[in-house]
Structure 1
Amino acid sequence: MTTRSPLPAPVRVVGRLLAAIVWTVLGLLAYFVCQGMFGGYRQIHSQLLTTLGMITIALAGGLAWIIDERRPHDDE
């Protein structure tokens, strides 16, 4: 079994910063879609976008719950 060497600290910091930015943008986009901010634009199928946004948020919440349930908790 091979072990990977950990990445240098600056690379980890930049990676985490980029990941935080990407997740923030995706979260804002999901929020805007679900609030209907793009509503009324038939050319971009806004009703379909709203439905897909709500489904995506529900799936992400379910995935987060499943991942959290699989982690060992100290309070148990």
Structure 2
Amino acid sequence: MNFVQPICDPECIFYIKRFLKKQNMKNYMLFVTSINSGLRISDILQLRVRDAKRPYFNLIEKKTKKKKRIDMTPENKKDV
């Protein structure tokens, strides 16, 4: 099994965000949402534009089938 290390360097995160914002807004939003919420990509892909109209979103985790409420961070609100 391969192990993945998290990106912990704030400067590295800044450069990734800047690159993604220039290239593709969809991928940028996926990245920002994932690092701010800690959700798996399979859970993030379930989200729709209508979910961003509230200050939080509810979802059912795909892996565990648990209901989860995620509050949007100020950064997510600003980007949306």
TM-score normalised by the chain length of structure 2: 0.30
Q: Normalising by structure 1, what TM-score?
A: 0.31
Higher strand share: 2
